[in-house]
């Protein structure tokens, strides 16, 4: 029973010490960390479940447009998907353990694999981004770009361990790197040029060794001249301009978050064993659409917060997935007219649900009532 | 009396037969059968091969056994099997592949793979029994007595060497081997640029770090940071980092910039690169990467491998 409960949570909770140079690191599990770790993981899930029962007034329920369930781990088309990105041609999903990019066309249930194998092998791919007709994928060798037909274009050997990256205007690439040697001068965000070389670094890291440096992991987005760092294990967003100047920070709110923050003070939770660290996960993805920041919260059922770039909450959307999730492995949003279209991959121990939702864009003159924490 | 005895014997025989049949089918799900991570031995269970034939794993006792869990839809996993097969040990061994799709796997193996036993039935239970993590397929080597000897992820480059080490007693990558290689290169004049550099240092020595890969979040990133730190503090010795000449000039520049190196970074000569990449091929890039050697004006003074050994050497050297 304990291992099953732990399993539900296994896939979203990662340790900070990277195993074998693979960006997706070894999860904390009951198998590896024992029943005490499993119990504390269950407490994170319980807090989230209980907190999600308190829906904010004005929350919109998303309409399910497409929902497909797949078995994880070999019987279906996905082994260990970790990131997704969309454009008009369809949905592109990087599968870490399959070393492949999977593709799903807009009106098709079938999942195919981009023929990247003969041109440039992907080595433990992680974040995928689509920009101007190319797919950019970070892997153990850098950032590789492919045509949307799978044709290899180039590799940017950055020599950074890339947690997440984003592509801004003029194809400027910003990465949130991980470091094994922790220095106060290590930046939170690094801009690299078209060859992968560092142009500049900016943003302060917390460098909390007692948390295995997990609280410096962030999803990156760009909006015009701004670069946003949406932290995975802190309910906060930092905003910088393209010169690297810190502009502002604002919180991401949910009733469960206060109790989750208390878990970060519990050593049994944060440090389940030697060289094993974890923190509660608040955020599972972030995207900018127009001048709106959309943040996917890490909750058992999807909940997306729509915010202005100044941090004002403008809307909140919830969707239903066919099972209680242990996390999300990809998130993207597009705006078509006055309708948002959301894609996400929800997972539990054995299954993955490919979800496509739509929701009407709110009239932003009347701000939705929000949580007060 | 005799008929009662016969009936009792028949009952006992039938019960024994029923127990045996049940045990044959479910033997490995028995809770007392410990996973390999604990037992450190080949589990003695009954399996069913791809053709429906049942066999006990004790048939593998008597020769080393290479077990690999394989997902045939992942090219990298198939390639790893093929690589081990192509460079297999000279002594005879048994091969067991366990997969979720035996048909696909057999179809994707090259001709001449008939000696490989493929098992699909009870795949998930076997993963647990062989202690295979959920997020990555592994291989395991058992010796001829069924004792666990080694295991690793399918993307472990030095699998071949580790298998040959168990089966053929071939050496794994060692300092002695690296020392021999570096000395041989030195004698052939392939390290002349390092000897020349050493001639200009106060101690007459230069520390050379060999890197064919590195990243900020990897162990080799820590090693580079350590060399960088000592280079900035140590006034007696020169420091260099050498990359294989397969790096382009742009890659060399990016390597230097992004890893914030204050140490000169050079490309190795052709023969040095060739020998280096041959070591990578045979022993795995991870084993060779980050090796450090010290040269003086004429010869190689010492060779180390690994972060703690390097730290110890640099501490002594800089005192």
From chain A, the residues in CB contact with B251 under 8 A are 157
Output the pLDDT for position B89: 94
Res B318 pLDDT > 90:
no
Per-residue HEC secondary structure of A226-274 comes to EEEEEECCCCEEEEEECCCCEEEEEECCCCCHHHHHHHCCCHHHHCCEC
> Contact B76/A121, CB-based, under 8 Å?
yes
pLDDT (average), residues A126-152: 95
Residue B1 maps to a domain: no
Residue B9 maps to a domain: no
Residue B3 maps to a domain: no
Q: Do residues B224 and B208 both lie within one domain?
A: yes
Res A117 pLDDT > 70:
no
Residue B19 maps to a domain: no
Which of A79, A178, A196 has the CB atom closest to B216's CB atom?
Answer: A178
Among A34-38, A57-61, A279-283, B50-54, which stretch is predicted with the lowest mean pLDDT? Answer: A34-38
Q: Do residues B225 and B196 both lie within one domain?
A: yes
* C-alpha–C-alpha distance, residues B257 and B147, integer Å: 48
**C-alpha dist (Å) from residue B267 to B185, B245, B251:** 15, 5, 11
> Contact B100/A74, CB-based, under 8 Å?
yes
Output the pLDDT for position A372: 53
Q: Name the minimum distance, in Å, from the CA of B124 to any CA of chain A.
A: 10
Output the pLDDT for position A12: 30
Output the pLDDT for position A7: 29
> Contact A197/B253, CB-based, under 8 Å?
yes
Among A178-187, A242-251, B4-13, B118-127, which stretch is predicted with the lowest mean pLDDT? Answer: B4-13
Q: Which of B79, B134, B249 to mutate: most A Cβ within 10 Å?
A: B134
B52: helix, strand or coil: coil
In this structure, the number of other CB atoms found within 10 A of the CB of residue A213 comes to: 21
Cβ atoms of residues A82 and A72 within 8 Å = no
Buried b (16+ CB within 10 A) or exposed e, B106-135: bebbeeebeebbbbbebbeebbebbbbbbb
> Contact B218/A161, CB-based, under 8 Å?
yes
Which of A26, A31, A180 has the CB atom closest to B217's CB atom?
Answer: A180
Given 3-state DSSP classes, what are the helix, strand and coil percentages for chain A, each rounded to the nearest 5? Answer: 15, 45, 45
> Contact A98/B74, CB-based, under 8 Å?
yes
Q: Six-digit token pair at B194?
A: 């390092």
Cα A88 versus chain centre, distance: 21
CA nearest to A226, candidates A206, A249, A207, A209: A249
Which of A21, A121, A157 has the CB atom closest to B218's CB atom?
Answer: A21
Angle between helices B175-187 and B270-283 (to 10 degrees): 160
pLDDT tens-digit readout, A10-27: 333 333 333 333 444 455
> Contact B217/A98, CB-based, under 8 Å?
no
Residue B66 maps to a domain: yes
Instruction: Report the number of distinct structural domains present in chain B.
Output: 2
Cβ atoms of residues B69 and B138 within 8 Å = yes
Output the pLDDT for position A92: 97
Output the pLDDT for position A23: 44
Output the pLDDT for position A34: 64
Q: Do residues B155 and B60 both lie within one domain?
A: yes
Residue B21 maps to a domain: no
Domain A2-360: CATH superfamily is TolB, C-terminal domain (2.120.10.30)
* Nearest Cα residue in chain A from B215: A159
Q: Do residues B214 and B125 both lie within one domain?
A: no
pLDDT tens-digit readout, B145-203: 999 999 999 887 788 888 999 999 988 888 888 899 999 999 998 898 888 888 888 99
Residue B299 maps to a domain: yes
Q: Do residues B310 and B188 both lie within one domain?
A: yes
From chain A, the residues in CB contact with B225 under 8 A are 180-181
pTM as predicted? 0.85
Which of B73, B101, B217 has the CB atom closest to A179's CB atom?
Answer: B217
* C-alpha–C-alpha distance, residues A335 and A319, integer Å: 17
pLDDT tens-digit readout, A243-277: 999 999 999 999 999 999 999 989 989 998 888 89
More confident residue, A321 or A120: A321
**C-alpha dist (Å) from residue A89 to A86, A105, A134, A219, B134:** 8, 6, 11, 24, 32
Chain mean pLDDT for chain B: 89
B228: CATH: 3.40.30.10
Q: Do residues B245 and B164 both lie within one domain?
A: no
DSSP B138-180: EEEEE-TTSBEEEEEETT-TTHHHHHHHHHH----S-HHHHHH
Which of A29, A31, A157 has the CB atom closest to B251's CB atom?
Answer: A157
- B25 contacts: CB under 8 Å, gap ≥ 6: B46
CA nearest to A260, candidates A285, A234, A286, A295: A234
Residue B140 maps to a domain: yes
> Contact A180/B221, CB-based, under 8 Å?
yes
Confidence at A347, pLDDT banded by 50, 70, 90: very high
Q: Which of A159, A175, A190, A196 to mutate: most B Cβ within 10 Å?
A: A159
Which of B153, B216, B254 has the CB atom closest to A180's CB atom?
Answer: B216
* C-alpha–C-alpha distance, residues A352 and A346, integer Å: 6
Strand partners, A89: none
Q: Name the minimum distance, in Å, from the CA of A360 to any CA of chain B.
A: 38
Q: Which of A180, A216, A350 to mutate: most B Cβ within 10 Å?
A: A180
Q: Do residues B113 and B134 both lie within one domain?
A: yes
Task: Give ipTM to 2 decimals.
Answer: 0.85
Residue B277 lies in domain = 175-318
From chain B, the residues in CB contact with A178 under 8 A are 216-217
């Amino acid at each position: 029973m304990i291992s099953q409960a732990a399993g539900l949570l296994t896939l979203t909770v990662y340790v900070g010490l990277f195993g074998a140079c693979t960006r997706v690191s070894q999860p904390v599990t009951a198998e590896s960390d024992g029943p005490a770790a499993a119990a504390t993981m269950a407490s994170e899930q319980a807090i989230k479940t209980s907190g999600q029962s308190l829906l904010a007034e004005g929350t919109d329920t998303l309409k399910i447009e497409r929902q497909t369930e797949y078995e994880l781990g070999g019987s279906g088309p996905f082994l260990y998907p970790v990131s997704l990105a969309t454009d008009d041609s369809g949905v592109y999903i990087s599968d870490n353990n399959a070393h492949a990019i999977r593709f799903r066309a807009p009106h098709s249930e079938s999942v195919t694999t981009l023929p990247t194998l003969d041109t440039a092998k992907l080595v433990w791919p992680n974040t995928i981004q689509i920009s101007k007709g190319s797919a950019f994928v970070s892997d153990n060798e850098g950032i590789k770009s492919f045509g949307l037909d799978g044709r290899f274009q180039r590799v940017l050997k950055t020599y950074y361990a890339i947690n997440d990256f984003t592509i801004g205007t003029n194809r400027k690439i910003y990465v949130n790197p991980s470091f094994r040697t922790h220095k106060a001068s290590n930046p939170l965000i690094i801009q690299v040029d078209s060859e992968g070389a560092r142009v500049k670094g900016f943003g302060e890291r917390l460098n909390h060794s007692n948390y295995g440096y997990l609280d410096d992991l962030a999803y990156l987005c760009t909006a015009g001249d701004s670069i946003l760092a949406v932290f995975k294990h802190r309910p906060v967003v930092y905003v910088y301009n393209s010169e690297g100047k810190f502009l502002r920070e604002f919180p991401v709110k949910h009733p469960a978050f206060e109790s989750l923050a208390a878990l970060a003070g519990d050593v049994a939770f944060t440090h389940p064993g030697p060289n094993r660290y974890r923190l509660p996960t608040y955020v599972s993805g972030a995207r900018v659409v127009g001048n709106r920041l959309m943040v996917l919260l890490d909750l058992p059922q999807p909940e997306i917060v729509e915010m202005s770039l100044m941090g004002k909450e403008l809307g909140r959307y919830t969707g239903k997935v066919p099972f209680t999730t242990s996390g999300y492995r990809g998130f993207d949003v597009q705006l078509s007219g006055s309708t948002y279209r959301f894609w996400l991959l929800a997972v539990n121990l054995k299954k993955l649900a490919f979800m496509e939702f739509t929701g009407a864009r709110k009239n932003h003159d009347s701000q939705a009532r929000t949580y007060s924490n | 009396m005799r008929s009662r005895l016969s009936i009792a014997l028949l009952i006992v025989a039938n019960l024994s037969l029923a127990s045996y049949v049940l045990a044959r089918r479910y033997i490995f799900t028995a809770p007392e059968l410990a996973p390999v991570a604990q037992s450190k031995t080949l589990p003695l269970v009954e399996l069913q091969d791809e053709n429906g034939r049942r066999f006990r794993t004790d048939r593998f006792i008597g020769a080393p056994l290479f077990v690999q869990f394989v997902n045939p839809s992942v090219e990298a996993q198939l390639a790893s099997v093929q690589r081990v097969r192509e460079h297999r040990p000279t002594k005879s061994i048994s091969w067991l592949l366990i997969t979720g799709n035996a048909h696909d796997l057999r179809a994707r193996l090259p001709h001449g793979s008939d000696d490989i036993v493929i098992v699909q039935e009870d795949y998930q239970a076997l993963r647990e029994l062989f202690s295979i993590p959920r997020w990555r397929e592994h291989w395991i080597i058992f010796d001829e007595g069924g004792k666990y000897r080694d295991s690793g992820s399918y993307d472990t480059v030095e699998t071949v060497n580790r298998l040959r080490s168990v089966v053929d007693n071939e050496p794994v990558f060692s300092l002695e081997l690296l020392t021999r290689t570096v000395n041989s290169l030195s004698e052939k004049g392939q390290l002349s640029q390092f000897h020349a550099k050493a001639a200009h240092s106060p101690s007459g020595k230069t520390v050379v770090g060999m890197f064919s890969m590195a990243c900020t979040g990897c162990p080799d990133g820590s090693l580079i940071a350590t060399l960088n730190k000592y280079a900035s503090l140590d006034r007696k010795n020169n420091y260099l980092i050498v990359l294989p000449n397969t790096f382009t000039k742009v890659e060399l520049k990016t390597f230097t910039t992004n890893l914030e190196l204050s140490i000169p970074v050079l490309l190795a000569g052709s023969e040095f690169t060739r020998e280096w990449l041959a070591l990578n091929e045979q022993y795995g890039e991870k084993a060779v990467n980050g090796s450090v050697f010290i040269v003086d004006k004429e010869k190689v003074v010492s060779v180390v491998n690994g972060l703690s050994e390097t730290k110890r050497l640099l501490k002594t050297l800089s005192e």
